Structure formats: structure tokens, C-alpha cells
Structure 1
Amino acid sequence: MNNNHEETLENLYNLILNPATREWERSLLLATKKAIEDGANFEDQLSKLEADLRPLALRNNLTADVTDFYNKITGNAAANTQFDFTKHSTDELAYQDSAIFAGGCFWCMVEPFETLDGIVSVLSGYTGGHIDCPTYDQVSGQYTGHVEAVEIIFDTRIIQYEDLVELYWQLTDPTDEFGQFQDRGNQYRPIIFVRNERQRQIAEKSKQCLVESGKYKHPIVTLIEPASVFWPAENYHQQFYKKNRKRYKRIERSRQQFLAFQRLQGKFRTEVKRFTKKP
């Protein structure tokens, strides 16, 4: 470990004050901070803290900000890359727009959009709830009414809102109102959040086309709701597909296998209907 003494103490102090930090995490951080301030060896104390946090870090069970700190003191630079929030804004209003989609875990909703031409920025966050500044633990505990979602800023000279809606349907299961894939709970509900009447009309028309396509055995339950405040998620969750590639690939593979099977079923149903249609 090679960590800056003053910066690390400041990080410890901020995490101790952070309301999202769990009490058992806070107790470890407090003990480490006190020991360092009392003259204990800096590197020894960080090594001890790392060892105490490691079992839960390996199971991805630390709170997001503590996870960032853990990655920092262990030298995991890729996982601790800071998201540049200054780039996530509609600076060119004449030809930039934004869209918000909820479709299960936001970890798997970023890469498909971010890698498209014309995308300026994709931000993971929380929306649709009833408190300000929600944390990941609060949303996961279903205490706030928020869903995990992504906010996408795009260049309308290159890509249109209709294109994003079309991709959204390909990434989600629109028949599952209780979550998405392996992610269960209200925070994973599929919802299209529309910013204005134009987006609403596009989303409604697209949804109706999907209903009429006959691709799905069960009803389309994806909601279309007015956009509300979008709260950015903690840094750990931003661009997760880059920071934790192996874990992301495992989750994404599971989603893709389900969607491929669902599409195959839909194709079979439409073919059967076509050949059994009465003259």
C-alpha cells in the first residue's frame, strides 16, 4: 500500500460522517482514524483495516463509498476511476436532449447505450421516489420509492429518442413488473420516464406497437411516467462495466441468455399465428 497520509485521514473522516456508511463500517473506520491520530503506524493500520473489510469486499457487500475507499487503499485504480460529472450536462441545447430509462440493475443498462454513436454521457442513478439524495442501501431496501435508472444525454444530430426507446425494449423484459431477470423488487421495475409530451407520444406509440406485435405471451407492463428528479448514484456504480468487467460479464451473460430465449419464443408465436390465421 502506498497511500497519502493526510488524504487518507480526510477520506476516513468523510466516510465516518457519511450517513450512508453502515454502523459496523463506521466503527472500523473510527478505530483506524483514532489509532493513526494516536501515533500508530500508518501503513500497519491501513493493512489491518483492509484485512477487516476484505471478506465483505470480496462478496461486494460494502456500501458504495466504502467500496471506493477500499479500492483506493488496495490500489485497484480501475475500479476506483472517478466519473466526470462535469461532462454529464446538456451544454448544446440546440441539438442535445436527455432520456431516462429504468430496466433492472443499472449496471447492465449503461454499456449498450454508452457505446452508441451520438451518446454524450450515461449516468447511473435513482429516480421516481419520495426523498432527496437517496443512497444505494436505501433504494435497495425499498425505503424510498426510487428505481435504479440511467439518464442518457444524446446528440440529436446523430441519434434520435426513437432509437433509444427501440434499444430499451431489446434490453428489458417488458412483461415483468416485479423486477428484471435475477433482480427482484420494486427498485428494479421497468419504467420509461418521459420529459415532455413528445417523448410520451413516442414511448406510447412504441409500446403499442410492441403490444400489437404478438411477441409476448404475457401483457406488456412497462410503465410510462413523467420524469422527476434524477439523483446520481455513488461513484462505485458509475460505468460499472468498465470497473468490474468480469462480474459485469457474468450478469450481462445471464440477461442476454434470457432475452435470446424470450425472443425465440416470440418469433415462434408470431410464426404460428401467421400460419394458423384464418382466411
Structure 2
Amino acid sequence: MELTKEEALREIYNLILNADTRDWECLVLIETKDALETKDNVTPQITSLEEKLRPLALRDNLTGEVADFYLKIVGEPIEEERFDFSKHTIEDYKYQDYAVFGGGCFWCMVEPFETKDGIDSVLSGFTGGHTKYPSYDQVLSGTTGHVEAVEVIFDTRLISYKELVDIYWQLIDPTDDKGQFQDRGYQYRPIIFVRNKQQRQIAEESKQKVISSGRYKQPIITEIQPTSTFWPVENHYQQFYKKNPKRYKRIKRYRQRFLLYQRLKGEIRMRWGKER
């Protein structure tokens, strides 16, 4: 898609003013803006910008709005399904409830819950920290106290909180307090966030069951904490498995292989313990 000079400048101005745009992204955008303001030929400036953004774009490591702009300048369609944040709400307090889980990158925590019967909505975001309105990069730096997490709204007539907790244990390495799988850092540690005494009791009993199973050689470090403000991440990071299916499958495959290996070791350990 070829942009006019006015269209390009308008898009770039908005990105520069966007609080979520990274400093490095701002620098290359400002360079392009300055060049566009002094020269009439748009194509060389946009081509140069595309070349600078390309390495991060290929690794899907641009911030959301900049990633959309990159697709626009290379002529690729923006096929992201827009997450309807207004629908992520409890409408029937008699039969709906919510649960919050931190289990590493939220990219891989959505699909396992969202595809189960009884799940009404799954929202990716941050919780457990001390900074208001944290950005993706702020949380990524590990300085806000937040962890990446998912907030799950579910129909209690179709699925129970206990079943959600059981699913959760199948998705994480409960012995790793330095992150999860390939995601390393304080913001990726596993935590079950409970919103009342009933959820705490279920989570505590479930954790004790995991500890007592003898399946793990290392201590179970998964925390259980009260819920706090949940800050949704922007649309670009919602429902990653739908927007980036190939990359999601690669990440999911890696996690599944690790967990399968861990479970096999656990089964051998448990069987050996019984025989002795």
C-alpha cells in the first residue's frame, strides 16, 4: 500500500505520541518524520523505515500499533481480530465467576482455557504489581511487580473452579520460580490468584495434592495470592494463538515436550517410590 506524504506523516505522528511506542521505535519514526517534512519523495523514506523495522517485525517484536503500521507499509493485510473488551464482564452473578492465573507468557495461557466448554471469556493482562496502567514493556522489564496473567470468566453450571485449577497445573512447571519454560524473569513466575476463601481453599488443597503426589523432585514453588487490579494488555497481544497460529504452535509444542518429559520422570519416580 502506497501512502501519501500526508497519510504517512499522520500515521507516524500518532505512533510517536503513543505512550506504548518504544524509545528505539520513536527514534526511527522521528528520523522518518523529519525526512518526510523536508523532502517531497515519500517512497525512499518509507523504504528506509521498513528496512529498519524489518528485523524486529520478522520476530514479531514490534509494539502493537507499530506492527500494524509495518504491515500497512509493506502492503500486507491487518487480519487481527479485534478483542471486544466490553464483552469481558460478568453479567450473571448467580452462574458466572472469574479466575486469575499467572503461568508464564500469557500467549500460551489463553487457548487451553478458552477452548473448554463453559468458558465465556479469557483476557490477557498484568496483575500483582504496584504500577498503575503498566505498559507491556514496563512489565517486561520486571520493575513493576506484575506478572503476565489471564483472567477467565466461566459459567459455573458447566465448569467448576476446581476444574480450572486442574487445567492450570497441566500448563505450568510448578517448580520454576525464575520464569516458565523459555520465558525467564520475575514477570513470568507461576501464581494462582484467588478472589475469596472458597477459591483459596480449593487452590491450597490442589497444591497440597500436587506436593503429596511425589511427582516432582524439586519443591513446588507456585504461589497463591489474593487477586488485585487486573490491567488488560492492548489488543495486539490478546488471543495470540488465533492471530499467530504458526508461531503459537511452535511455542506450544516446546512447552508440551518439556511437560511430557517432566511428567514421565514423575511417573517413574512415583512408581519407583511405591516399589521400594
Q: Report if TM-score (shorter chain) is over 0.5.
A: yes
Which residue of 1 is the match for residue 93 of structure 2? 93
Give ranges in structure 1 of 5+ residues lacking alignment: none
Task: Report deviation, 1:37.
Answer: 5.8
Which residue of 1 is the match for residue 106 of structure 2? 106
Q: Say yes or no: does 1:199 pair with 2:199.
A: yes
Q: Say yes or no: does 1:67 pair with 2:58.
A: no
Q: Say yes or no: does 1:165 pair with 2:165.
A: yes
Give ranges in structure 2 of 5+ residues lacking alignment: none
Matching of residues 116-127 of structure 1 within 5 Å: 116-127=116-127
Distance 1:6 1:96 in 2: 49
* RMSD, matched Cα: 2.2
Amino acid of the residue matched to residue 139 of structure 2? V
Cα shift readout 1:139-183 (whole Å, capped 9, x = no counterpart): 111111111111111111211111110000000011111111111
SS of residue paired to 2:170? helix
Matching of residues 233-272 of structure 1 within 5 Å: 233-272=233-272
Aligned 8 A contact 1:78 1:243 in 2? no
TM-score (ref. length: structure 2): 0.91
CA 1:36–1:90 in structure 2 vs 1: closer, same or farther (change >3 Å)?
Answer: farther
Cα shift readout 1:216-253 (whole Å, capped 9, x = no counterpart): 11111100001111111122211111111121111111
Which residue of 2 is the match for residue 13 of structure 1? 13
Identity between Structure 1 and Structure 2 (%): 61
Distance 1:164 1:111 in 2: 13
SS of residue paired to 2:124? strand
Cα shift readout 1:243-264 (whole Å, capped 9, x = no counterpart): 1112111111111001001111
Matching of residues 174-253 of structure 1 within 5 Å: 174-253=174-253
Distance 2:222 2:73 in 1: 42
Task: Report deviation, 1:30.
Answer: 2.9
Which residue of 1 is the match for residue 137 of structure 2? 137
Distance 1:249 1:4 in 2: 38
Distance 2:173 2:10 in 1: 44
SS of residue paired to 1:171? coil
Distance 2:10 2:275 in 1: 69
CA 1:130–1:103 in structure 2 vs 1: closer, same or farther (change >3 Å)?
Answer: same
Task: Report deviation, 1:196.
Answer: 1.1
Distance 2:237 2:85 in 1: 13
Task: Report deviation, 1:59.
Answer: 2.7
Matching of residues 14-53 of structure 1 within 5 Å: 14-33=14-33, 40=40, 45-53=45-53
Task: Report deviation, 1:79.
Answer: 5.3
Aligned 8 A contact 1:111 1:241 in 2? yes
Amino acid of the residue matched to residue 89 of structure 1? T
Task: Report deviation, 1:39.
Answer: 7.3
Point out the more displaced range, 24-33 or 83-92. 24-33
Task: Report deviation, 1:61.
Answer: 3.1
Amino acid of the residue matched to residue 248 of structure 1? Y
Task: Report deviation, 1:72.
Answer: 4.1
Point out the more displaced range, 33-42 or 84-93. 33-42
Aligned 8 A contact 1:104 1:187 in 2? yes
Amino acid of the residue matched to residue 186 of structure 1? Y
Distance 1:189 1:234 in 2: 21
